[in-house]
Amino acid sequence: MSLKSQIDAFEVQKKANVPSDILNLMDITTDKLIAEQLNQHALPVGAVFPDFSLPNSHGETVTLSQLLDKGPLVLSFYRGGWCPYCNLELRALNALKDSLLNTMFN
């Protein structure tokens, strides 16, 4: 099942199980984020990502350049275990891991 179809299925479950006032608040918040046009500030496809330093899952500071020295990488912004969308994305990336590695190195 594709990530999109998993998200679509989650949305159906969410609408069936989450109170309408919470759904309305979520919709309002989403609309505000869309209105801010954050996508206008994103790097275009093919742009060089600037180097940065962040803590990894072990609390150690790593830089993008250090990670790229080890080979290609996939960068995913994981908000936390509480985020169903992040968990769906992480599972989808994990499922693609072998095919991505084969594509990069073959």
pLDDT band for position 24 (50/70/90)? very high
pTM of the model: 0.70
Tens digits of per-residue pLDDT, 31-89? 999 999 988 988 898 898 899 999 988 999 999 999 999 988 888 888 899 999 999 99
11's CB contacts (< 8 A; 6+ apart) are none
pLDDT at 69: 95
70 φ/ψ angles, rounded to the nearest 5 degrees: -85, -15
Q: Are 88 and 11 in contact (CB under 8 A)?
A: no
pLDDT at 106: 64
- Give 46-51 contacts, CB < 8 A, sequence gap 24+: 49/75
Q: Are 64 and 49 in contact (CB under 8 A)?
A: yes
